Amino acid sequence: MAGFSLSGRRALVTGANTGIGQAIAIALAEAGADVALAGRSEPAETLAAIAAKGRRTLDIRADLSGTAPLAEVVGQTVAELGGLDILVNNAGIIRRDDLLDFSEEDWDAVLDTNLKSLFFISQAAARHMVAQGSGKIVNIASLLSFQGGIRVPSYAAAKSGVAGVTRAMANELAPRGVQVNAIAPGYIATNNTAALQADETRNRQILERIPAARWGRPEDIAGAAVFLSSPASDYVTGQILAVDGGWLAR
């Protein structure tokens, strides 16, 4: 199982204070990586969990809705952890409203955070990875990379864009030793899906559609992230891996 070890690797995970990002950051540390965490909120619980596993960790406060701090976030990670081998782009937001009422403000906020910033922090990380001849970039996509969803047009557009830019980056970076892939989580019980879980009708409809017959947990995404960050996935690139309890198979 040595191919799944992340011993000696340095990772940067965005949006890791709760939910999927937190589960991924802790799993990377458990596999042996030192992990920098970037986001607006203090990830105290995540930092403590990583430290308890004997790994180095770094708290970088940054507003990832804009591009200005992104190169600095990557630079600080490289400087303080001694390099960067893995980038996990997890930070994201969602806005819900009827299509006919959806505002330009909500459109721009989601596209800026979920797609534009993802690309430019990946670009900054890729410059370092290409120089060293190796690296892994893992983007968090969504089932809405494949589907349209309801009342979330900007989120669907952004996550469809994540799938496309993942493939585009993979095409250019694979010859230079950097693999780029994405994970498309299904319906995972996190803060972003709290409104759906609380809606009795939508919750029932969602569960009826999932062959696994349950909401996913953040930890269900962690194994896929470790795989895509490890040497075991060196011949995997440009893929969108659905971890969805069978939703898309239905």
> What amino acid positions are annotated as catalytic residues?
155
In the chain, the amino acid numbered 233 is S
In the chain, the amino acid numbered 127 is R
Q: Which residues contact 48 (CB under 8 A, 6 or more apart)?
A: none
For the chain, how far is it from start to end, CA to CA, in angstroms? 32
Find the helix or strand (DSSP H, E) in which 168 lies.
helix 153-173
Q: 90 with 39: CB under 8 angstroms? A: no
Q: 230 with 31: CB under 8 angstroms? A: yes
Query: If DSSP codes are grouped into helix, strand and coil, which group holds residue 69?
Result: coil
Q: Which residues contact 104 (CB under 8 A, 6 or more apart)?
A: none
Structure tokens, 248? 């898309």
In the chain, the amino acid numbered 40 is R
